[in-house]
Structure 1
């Protein structure tokens, strides 16, 4: 049976048609009274790395928070600390970054809580019984929440192809140890000639790299798959095993998504923002030029369906010639393959449906 996905475009000629009004109407379409007055409801959002500005605007997020507050007194915004060592690796830096990016109580209308604690140690073990994981490690305050509103910026991602609601659940709701479990199957490999510049060694946060006479060496027991080495290397020394490791990484992510919703499947709403559709995750400290025009905002009760609809809507667009896109500019072509050619991003949808997260079959309903 097709899942309902509601869509609002970005055209507006009156106050009744502005983004805030449309978001409130989207909320009304998907909300069915699942939150009670005393429920603790997490609004799961990405606060953006410092230097990034393509994340969902806190000004727009306020409209969703206000709608949730009409139904429960206890609403909080949340995210989890990052595996890589950036501006959100611990809760102190994370909260400072969130505020600098505009996620302050006065703006968003609710308190902000980093769900996995000061250094990522606040976790709950959740049973999923899947191919790769019997149990997964979910942030304690997300696990304890009565329900969730998952707000995602739909954009590209270097390893998963795209990031939407499913990735927001998988990486966004996992502890640091949980993120490492997802990544550890897809660690960098050495494919090029190293000139011994040492930049990657300096950037490795855990000392997993060292220089020898014949080039750089990786201590895989220490490597956390943060990809700092790949991002730093000027000589393309590093790569991934795209054919074997990346599909497994995607499967592991989807199994973590399953753990994130466990126990509250009927008390979660999903919003995807198809605006500023950049080639990279909001975890990077920059925002590249979008690959397609802004499209609109989607809402659903099904994370697979909303990502499937988002994926299709992006691919229906004509790609921007002056973006990072290398191919697939035409309508109907896979834009994420046009950026990250090695990744079949649609496999997220296939495996997520296979393990029972939702349906790829959707009915798109325009406001």
Structure 2
């Protein structure tokens, strides 16, 4: 397989070329204008950030990209799916409020903001890929129905996947709430009896007649019928229906790759990653720890696998500066060339996901880095 082209620009600016100008010049050089955007619905998949976490991408970048896409005839919108955990982004009402607090709204972003899997995380399309781990990933409807997918990725650490980049943003981030359950879990959902209020919502909405109230009005799951769709977890307002046992890091990354395959299936796609404020954990936390390396730059590619590999390589080559999680773990050590994400999260294996993504044809880990 030939090497994919990954384009890179550093963060140096001049009075005549700010970071927004550099990003636009980067994506044009990488070939974004070769896509036919005329009258096409374009999902800009982005993470709006959990309130309290300040490592998310500034909305200015999304606004500049949306403006460029509109100039090419597109109908762009910013989107993300609801979370599986109970937080400020677990339903569309709270999610949109959180996005607005972080600066993502139709005025600042200059395009509509849409929660891909609807009010309660139950609006999705099953995209058949017949994968080794996921046969028909559950993708948020707004993303599944889009004509073109563009990802804008904040590259950072992740406590389960190793790091979060293009594949994590697309595969995990585009999954409906039930899809996220499939990604995370090695087993079916469970009911915590003491939390159940007997409201019957999970019973009414189970498409497989797998959950009923017992004589004590406690929800009970029939595992002969349960398919692990996660609908009950998505709908429960009392944290009674919860995820089962978590999957391994390797299997999680394999599933993320297959979900990404479903998101991008038969769609033109393009990807932009920002190596800025590289926090050790995910943007889903309500806080962000100090960055583990200096800010490096912005990268763009048609190949999400090559893009993630290039970002990982740049982070590995970078020095560790300042007071942060890595410098406290490994004081007085030079960590250039070391896998910083594995040092922080030793139980994770990010490379397994890229290798699986390459096997299923999402892209290649071999790349040519072109500086712009």
Is 1:25 aligned with 2:28?
no
Q: Distance in 2 between matches of 1:186 and 1:31?
A: 41
The runs of 4+ residues in structure 1 deviating greater than 4 Å are 221-224
Q: Distance in 1 between matches of 2:186 and 2:249?
A: 8
Deviates more, 1:323-332 or 1:282-291: 323-332
1:198-277 matches, within 5 Å, as: 245-264=248-267, 267-277=268-278
Is 1:340 aligned with 2:345?
yes
Contact persistence 1:80–1:172 (CA under 8 A): yes
Is 1:139 aligned with 2:144?
no
| Aligned residue in 2 for 1:210 | none
Deviation at 1:245, TM superposition (A): 2.2
What RMSD, in angstroms, separates the aligned Cα atoms of the two structures?
2.3
| Aligned residue in 1 for 2:335 | 330
Contact persistence 1:160–1:250 (CA under 8 A): yes
| Aligned residue in 1 for 2:212 | none
Deviation at 1:330, TM superposition (A): 1.6
Q: Distance in 2 between matches of 1:73 and 1:127?
A: 27
> Gapped runs of 5+ residues in structure 2?
189-193, 196-220, 234-244
Query: In the superposition, relative to structure 1, how do residues 92 and 7 fare at CA in structure 2: closer, same or farther (>3 Å)?
Result: same
Q: Distance in 2 between matches of 1:110 and 1:311?
A: 31
Q: Distance in 1 between matches of 2:187 and 2:304?
A: 24
| Aligned residue in 1 for 2:282 | 281
Deviation at 1:60, TM superposition (A): 2.2
| Aligned residue in 2 for 1:153 | 154
Q: Deviations for 1:72-109, whole angstroms, at most 9, x for unmatched residues?
A: 24111100000000000000000000000000222111
Q: Distance in 1 between matches of 2:16 and 2:43?
A: 29
> Gapped runs of 5+ residues in structure 1?
188-200, 203-218, 227-239
Q: Distance in 1 between matches of 2:290 and 2:262?
A: 34
- TM-score, structure 2 normalization: 0.81
Contact persistence 2:272–2:298 (CA under 8 A): yes
Deviation at 1:363, TM superposition (A): 0.5
| Aligned residue in 2 for 1:39 | 40
- TM-score, structure 1 normalization: 0.82
Q: Distance in 1 between matches of 2:187 and 2:19?
A: 39
Contact persistence 1:319–1:335 (CA under 8 A): no
1:1-367 matches, within 5 Å, as: 1-16=2-17, 18-29=18-29, 30-185=31-186, 245-264=248-267, 267-320=268-321, 322-325=323-326, 326-327=329-330, 329-367=334-372
- Secondary structure of the residue aligned to 1:67 is helix
Aligned length: 319
Q: Deviations for 1:244-263, whole angstroms, at most 9, x for unmatched residues?
A: 82211211111111111112
Query: In the superposition, relative to structure 1, how do residues 126 and 329 fare at CA in structure 2: closer, same or farther (>3 Å)?
Result: farther
Deviation at 1:133, TM superposition (A): 1.6
